[in-house]
Amino acid sequence: MKSMKSCKHATELMSLQHERKLNFAEHSWLTTHLALCAHCRRCKKQFDLLSKTCEERRNVLDSAQEGEPQHFEEETK
C-alpha cells in the first residue's frame, strides 16, 4: 500500500513546479513517483490543464487591455 504522505509530497511538488523550476532531486523524485502512481499522474494532468487554462485566460485579458478582440481557442480531443 502506498503512503499518502508520498502522494501529498508529489502534489506539493506538482504545484511548486508551476511557480519555479524544480531542482534535480525534486524532479527525479516526482518523475519516479509519477511512474508508479496512476492517481498522481491524473492529478498532474489536472494541474497542467488548470495552468494552461489560466495562461490562456491571462492572454485574453492582456489582449483586452490592449484593445484587441477577445477570443477563446477551443481544443478538441
| Distances in whole angstroms, Cα of residue 43 to Cα of each of 10, 30, 59 | 9, 12, 24
Residue 9 domain flag: yes
**pLDDT band at residue 1, thresholds of 50, 70 and 90?**
very low
Question: How high is the pLDDT of residue 75?
Answer: 57
Domain containing 50: what range?
A: 4-64
Residue 40 domain flag: yes
Residue 33 domain flag: yes
CA distance 22 to 14: 9
Residue 77 domain flag: no
Residue 55 domain flag: yes
Total domains, the chain: 1
CA distance 54 to 49: 9
pTM, 2 dp: 0.71
CA distance 42 to 33: 12
| Residue in the structure block whose three cell numbers are 478582440 | 69
